[in-house]
With several copies, the nearest count.
Chain A
Amino acid sequence: MNTQLKQLYQEIILDHNRYPRNYGRLENPTHQARGHNPLCGDQIELTLQIRDNVIEDIRFEGKSCSICKASASVMTTVVKGTSLEEAETLFEAFHELLTHEEPTKVSSLAAEWRDKLSVFSTVRLFPVRVKCATLPWHTLHNALKNSTQVASTE
């Protein structure tokens, strides 16, 4: 098993994959959205409780690969309790982290967030897996717009 692969599948990702946080559905969500990557079959559904501009609670559910599942799990732990604006900032930072050669946005985040998101920086070296990691965030983005559209990373 080579080093890159080890970095991609580090313990923390495997851990979130095996024991996903905030897994399941909220009973009476104020917002929700489904995400789908038709190329590989990743599917995820988000349910949220938003009040006064703050994400009070969030759950995810779905069938997906470990990168997607871990990303969704980490995402829920990160955005729970944030304002919608903060969530949007996190979305952008995460997206940049995975698609730009020299991401800058993530370093201006609070340390706790930065460390959690940075776990996924190696994904950039596996271009076909980037969509796996970003699908939960795209789905969140849609949910916040209260969009009923299915998010797709294709």
Chain B
Amino acid sequence: MKDLVQRAERLRADFPLLHQRHPSGSPLIYLDNAATTHKPRAVLQTLERFYTTTNANIHRGLHWLSQEATRLYEEAREVVAQFLQAASPQEIVFVKGTTEGINLIAHGLRQVHFQPGDELLLTAAEHHANIVPWHLIARDIPVRLRPAPLRSDGGLDWEAFQQQITPRTRLIAITAMSNALGTEMPVSAIGALARQRDIPFLVDAAQFAPHKPINVQEWCADFVVFSGHKLYGPTGIGVVYMRHPWGETLPPYQGGGDMIVEVRWDSSTYAKPPQKFEAGTPPIAEAIALAESIRYLTQKVGWDFIQAYEQYLTDYAQARIEEVPGLQLFGTARPKGAIWSFYSEAVHPHDMATFLDQAGIAARAGHHCAQPLMEALQVPATTRASLAFYNLPSEIDSLAQSLHQIVHFFV
């Protein structure tokens, strides 16, 4: 354990933001990593280097800078393809983030896949990003969302899930890891089931991606989406993996430059994927910096360390939070990521977050963009501590200590 903690302490040096102080004077303790993560120096340097040495628009230029920028951008696509174990970089589309990614897929499926009355099977733990896009397309093609329930420990109720598959189920779309609870879904099992029945399978990996390695082949996934900013990369960038030949099947999402073959006044023809889905100037610097964050994560930090250490942190946090009187802890099912949601009848999460903030602790209180889940848990909101490999057991001690004080204050 000591080795792991020391390693984490050394890695913190890569993250300038972590060394700040809260205006109250306390050292900053950042436990809101599920909302967004901080950026290692390597990523910031990549941004800086791109803008000061290679900045140019891509694909359309014959000149040196444009060629260099294009090369780096397409290299980033290869890095992402490898990160996901995709069969080809052509299956990788750069978007703004997870939310845009799911909207892009929903828009496409509306046009070529769904019939009125079709059903989507989801889990009760979905983020709004995997709910609202389907409501939006339902205005054109009425489709119905069927959420599979969770067990009381926050794990998926596997029996119930299977029973919710009907002949009308035309998409299974699930989060790989609940952003509110941290619990992991049995993605590969669901994928096998989906493939067996020829149902397209979408995985929202926004929370999973920073915690565990992804293999889209093992998952049998047709679509996988995640966001750069939650993976130690910049804002403004995300990824859609589209298994071949979905890229051919889906119509383009946005129209504009770079996604066309020929444009006439009365019609256009469209490029092959992935260009087909990348209309206009994409987030170039962001894609290149995302590749660097993936390199940093997989090469410098390493999955072995991340998984071992985060497992330790998760257990440690559970033990310390459970000691706080009157706190209800959600999502104890394993496997799970380093995210804990808790609730006290005596202290509203909003009050709790204010108290934590004044102690320098950045935690999140609210519905975590998962209102239906909150309803299922029968709480108005929870307080959530979400960890990264740069968090320390001593920070969890501070959290626990503050929680004790707050509960004591209110009771």
B-binding residues in A (CB < 8 A):
1-2, 4-5, 8-9, 14, 36, 38-43, 63-69, 126-129, 132, 152, 154
Given contacts A1-B405, A65-B348, A128-B67, contact A38 B261 (CB under 8 A): yes
Q: Within 8 Å CB of B349, what residues of A?
A: 40-41, 65
Q: Within 8 Å CB of B300, what residues of A?
A: none
A9 to B261, CA, bound (A): 28
A65-B260 in contact (CB<8A): no
Q: Within 8 Å CB of B410, what residues of A?
A: 14, 66
Given contacts A39-B59, A65-B350, A128-B62, contact A154 B261 (CB under 8 A): yes
Given contacts A39-B366, A66-B351, contact A2 B380 (CB under 8 A): no
- The 3 residue pairs across chains A and B that have the minimum distance between CB atoms: A65-B350, A65-B348, A41-B380
Question: Residue B350 contacts which of A2, A5, A129, A154 (CB distance < 8 angstroms)?
Answer: A129
Q: Within 8 Å CB of A64, what residues of B?
A: 348, 380
Closest chain A residue to B64, Cβ basis: A128
The contact string, 1 if C-beta is below 8 Å from chain A, for chain B 338-354, is 00000000011111001
Q: Is the interface of A mostly helix, strand, loop or mixed?
A: mixed
A152-B261 in contact (CB<8A): yes
The contact string, 1 if C-beta is below 8 Å from chain A, for chain B 36-64, is 00000000000000000000000111100
Interface residues on B, range: 20 to 34
B365-A154 in contact (CB<8A): no
B354-A8 in contact (CB<8A): yes
Q: Is the interface of B mostly helix, strand, loop or mixed?
A: mixed
Given contacts A65-B350, A154-B271, contact A38 B405 (CB under 8 A): no
Q: State which residues 382-411 of B face A: CB under 8 Å.
A: 405, 409-410
Q: Within 8 Å CB of A2, what residues of B?
A: 24, 358
A6 to B367, CA, bound (A): 27
B381-A129 in contact (CB<8A): no
B260-A38 in contact (CB<8A): yes
A123 to chain B, nearest CB (A): 10
Q: Given A2-B358, A68-B350, 12 other A-B contacts at CB below 8 A?
A: A1-B358, A9-B409, A38-B260, A39-B366, A63-B380, A64-B348, A64-B380, A65-B349, A66-B410, A129-B350, A152-B261, A154-B272
A5 to B260, CA, bound (A): 31
Given contacts A8-B354, A9-B409, A67-B350, contact A127 B261 (CB under 8 A): no
Given contacts A2-B24, A127-B67, A128-B62, contact A43 B380 (CB under 8 A): yes
A39-B354 in contact (CB<8A): no
26 CB contacts below 8 A, A to B, read A1-B355, A1-B358, A2-B24, A36-B262, A38-B260, A38-B261, A38-B262, A39-B59, A40-B366, A41-B366, A41-B367, A41-B374, A42-B350, A42-B380, A64-B380, A65-B348, A66-B347, A67-B350, A67-B351, A68-B350, A69-B348, A128-B61, A128-B67, A129-B62, A129-B350, A132-B350
A5-B365 in contact (CB<8A): no
Question: Residue B358 contacts which of A4, A43, A67, A68 (CB distance < 8 angstroms)?
Answer: A4
A9 to B348, CA, bound (A): 13
A132 to B59, CA, bound (A): 15
Closest chain A residue to B366, Cβ basis: A40
Q: Within 8 Å CB of B272, what residues of A?
A: 154
